Amino acid sequence: MTIVPPPAKVLVTGANGYIAIWVVRLLLEQGYSVRGTVRSAGKGEYLTEYFGKLGFGDKLEIVVVEDITKEGAFDQAVQGVDAIEHTASPFITSLVNLSDFVDPAVRGTVGVLQSAIKHAPNVKRIVITSSCGAVMAPPPQPTIFSETDWNTSSQMDIDKNGVNADPLSKYRVSKTLAEKAAWEFYEKHKGSIGWELVVINPPFVFGPPIQEITGGPESLNTSLKPFYDILVGDGPKTEKLLSTSNSWVDVRDTALSHILAIQKEAAAGERIIVCGGAYLWQEWFDAANTIQPYPLPNHPPAKGMPGITAPYVIQYNTAKADKLLGIRYKTKAETIRDTLEIFAAKGW
């Protein structure tokens, strides 16, 4: 049984974001109607135009929610929807204060849940985009994390270094607190509500950007910018960098997990890590060198140091996502090819 089948109406918050626009696209392609929130009317224009060209003009509605930290911010946006995909949250490493991350992350998350309780009686599923940043902080030795893990060490960085802590620690704390707040809210209310919570935890998300990009590569979203800098731009290609590892997932697989989360009965009440695998940066260079023809003739791929090995330090057990969602994850070769093709289309 599909819990929220098309042509249901789905609210997507932060619809103009890198991940969210793919969520909107997959929803529309599967026959859903979408209401997308953005922070200003201008940010909605690109979405209207982009999806209008794809033939979905009458299936997409854009609403402005200027400040997601305000009480009742989503009260109108949730009305009449059958499911909610809450993605809006700052992933901007130039923010300085912890509160710049935490307030929108936590208040936005709790706010959308509160609004759903008050004003969206038809809602059956609410999906929150959390992060593997709520699962782990980079460990000193190779570790395989799972849904039972929670990031506790980023808070230690804040406690020790205050405003000078690593911006990624501030971001990870915001995601941890927001996710915990969502689960707490759900546990408190689940006996009296008609919807189930699903939380999706992706690691670094790479893959083709279809969102509005107002400038050059420097204006890419936070996870894709280093991907461009290292693989195409002047970023470092030292042995240290090439042997640095993390885990990743394609943006389209991330978006698909959000759609499956409103469809699959068994996803109800689950925290789910969606991860395409671990990587060394060298492996992205290896993958780039297999693409024929190479999409960026002016930036032929560096070779790096083929054959270099290093342990994968951050890995995830994806058994739960495999069982509940069953995604066939994109390979590095697919992801890098499709991403570089978008860079090429922009003339970068």
Q: Does 180 bind ligand NDP (CB under 6 A)?
A: no
Q: Which is nearer to ligand NDP, 39 or 237 (CB)?
A: 39
Q: Does 89 bind ligand NDP (CB under 6 A)?
A: yes
Q: How far is the CB of 82 from ligand NDP (least distance, A)?
A: 21
* Separation between Cα atoms, residue 126 and residue 81, nearest integer Å: 11
From 9, 43, 175, 264, the catalytic residue: 175
Q: Which is nearer to ligand NDP, 90 or 208 (CB)?
A: 90
Q: Does 247 bind ligand NDP (CB under 6 A)?
A: no
Q: Which is nearer to ligand NDP, 166 or 294 (CB)?
A: 166
Give the binding range for ligand NDP (CB under 6 A) out of 14-22, 44-52, 76-84, 235-243. 14-22
**Geometric angle at alpha carbon 66, from 93 and 77, rounded to 5°:** 115
Q: Which is nearer to ligand NDP, 175 or 320 (CB)?
A: 175
Q: Which is nearer to ligand NDP, 120 or 205 (CB)?
A: 205
How many of the chain's residues bind ligand NDP (CB under 6 A)? 23
Instruction: Choose which of 35, 59, 175, 320 interacts with ligand NDP (CB under 6 A).
Output: 175
Instruction: Choose which of 202, 207, 208, 276 interacts with ligand NDP (CB under 6 A).
Output: 202
* Separation between Cα atoms, residue 41 and residue 2, nearest integer Å: 33
Q: How far is the CB of 176 from ligand NDP (least distance, A)?
A: 11
Q: How far is the CB of 3 from ligand NDP (least distance, A)?
A: 22
Residue 282 CA: distances (Å) to CA of 225, 232, 305, 307: 17, 13, 7, 8
Contacts of 22 (CB under 8 A, 6+ apart): 210, 251, 252, 254, 255
* Separation between Cα atoms, residue 5 and residue 345, nearest integer Å: 35
Q: How far is the CB of 195 from ligand NDP (least distance, A)?
A: 19
**Contacts for 301-308 with beta carbons within 8 Å, 24 or more apart?**
301/231, 302/237, 304/237, 304/242, 305/239, 305/242, 306/282, 308/239, 308/242, 308/243, 308/280, 308/282
Tokens in use for 201?
Answer: 């935890």
Q: How far is the CB of 299 from ligand NDP (least distance, A)?
A: 23
In contact, 275 and 202? CB cutoff 8 Å: yes
Instruction: Choose which of 221, 246, 289, 317 interacts with ligand NDP (CB under 6 A).
Output: 221
The secondary structure of residue 302, as a DSSP letter, is P
Contacts of 172 (CB under 8 A, 6+ apart): 131, 133, 134, 137, 151, 154
In contact, 81 and 9? CB cutoff 8 Å: yes
Q: How far is the CB of 191 from ligand NDP (least distance, A)?
A: 28
Known catalytic residue at 175: yes
Q: How far is the CB of 292 from ligand NDP (least distance, A)?
A: 28
Site residues for ligand NDP, 62-81, by CB under 6 A, read 68
The phi-psi region of residue 137 (left if phi > 0; otherwise alpha if psi is between -120 and 50; otherwise beta) is beta
Q: Does 335 bind ligand NDP (CB under 6 A)?
A: no
* 193: nearest Cα among 85, 110, 120: 120
For residue 218, count other CB atoms closer than 10 A to its CB. 10
Q: Which is nearer to ligand NDP, 3 or 68 (CB)?
A: 68
Q: Does 14 bind ligand NDP (CB under 6 A)?
A: yes
* Separation between Cα atoms, residue 108 and residue 14, nearest integer Å: 11
Catalytic site residues? 175
Residues that bind ligand NDP (CB under 6 A): 14, 16-20, 39, 43, 68, 87-91, 104, 129, 131, 175, 202, 204-205, 221, 223
